[in-house]
Structure 1
Amino acid sequence: MNTESLAFTTPKESLGILLGLVRAEIVRAMEAELAAKHLDLRFTQFLILKRLARLGPMSASELARSVELDGGAMTRQLDQLERKGYLRRRPHEQDRRALRIELTDAGNALWQELTGCNERVLAAAQRSLDEAEQAQLHEYLERVLHALRDKN
């Protein structure tokens, strides 16, 4: 599908379509960055590494919720990342039945390398905006997010 022509089919796209197109382009650009580094990673795996690097160890279900995957899909992603040596499953300190997912040293090193990719993609996404416009966009998107999460 040619998303470029889809983005300009009407004078004003709906917010949902526009946000979806922006997300698709961010995913495409991030996967291009990963491929350029010869890393066998998909965007979802990048998100998993990012969440663990930023938030620390967590359960598989917490991690699945944070990257919007169902349990089966999360298990497959964790298996692949564990085989690559980027994360490990450890017993939970307080609950013997539960496991915590954490980055390995190799996973932490990879995340340090990927941080630059993430920053380049996000900077490219905002390159046509000056600093004030970037701050305004961020504020507007936060307000939209809060409005959608507000149950009242």
Structure 2
Amino acid sequence: MACEPPIPHTKDSLGILLGLVRTEIVRAMEAELAAKGVDLRFTQFLILKRLARLGPMSATELARAVELDGGAMTRQLDQLERKGYLRRCPHQQDRRALRIELTAAGEAMWQELVGCNERVLQAAQRSLDEAERDRLHDYLERVLLALRDKT
């Protein structure tokens, strides 16, 4: 039996607690992917999700959106391109640049994964009632805005 780290109980541990929540979401999502027999890691799932929700973008924009460095993004894009889920297309206004977009197979894969994503997020919030979920989202949005506020 694996020994899990204790859940922090002090107010000083917000960063640790957020990190542990993210780790468990990643673990649960990868378990969902494996159960479906889908050969994707969490980062690749995030890339498909961002492209499905935001549309085509540059590799730099996509790397920023999923928090990867350029080299790691290139490796992930190569793997997803080999699997037929995305393609690199010339940018219409800048012929030096490429846009990353989902293929029909990538869009179909995303549609297959939407349910996995929803199950994991619902499970993460199952101990909360609707009002608590709303408050949690409000608190996290406010924390995010405060961190992004440069003034």
User: Normalised by the size of structure 1, how large is the TM-score?
Assistant: 0.95
Q: Which residue of 2 aligns with 1:139?
A: 138
Q: Which residue of 2 aligns with 1:23?
A: 22
Deviation at 1:5, TM superposition (A): 3.4
- Any stretches of 5+ residues in structure 1 without a counterpart? none
Q: Which residue of 2 aligns with 1:121?
A: 120
Secondary structure, counterpart of 1:14 in structure 2: helix
RMSD over aligned CA atoms reads 1.2
For residues 86-106 of structure 1, the C-alpha deviation after alignment (integer angstroms, 9 at most, x for no partner) is: 000000011111000000000
CA gap 1:56/1:138 in 2 versus in 1, 3 angstroms: same
In 2, the alpha carbon distance for the partners of 1:136 and 1:128 equals 13
Secondary structure, counterpart of 2:88 in structure 1: strand
In 2, the alpha carbon distance for the partners of 1:4 and 1:145 equals 28
- Any stretches of 5+ residues in structure 2 without a counterpart? none
| Percent identity over paired residues | 82
User: Normalised by the size of structure 2, how large is the TM-score?
Assistant: 0.95
Q: Which residue of 1 aligns with 2:110?
A: 111
Q: Which residue of 1 aligns with 2:5?
A: 5
- Structure 1 ranges of 4+ moved more than 2 A: 2-6
Deviation at 1:7, TM superposition (A): 1.6
Q: Which residue of 1 aligns with 2:62?
A: 63
Question: Quick check: 1:3–1:21 contact (8 Å CA) kept in 2?
Answer: no
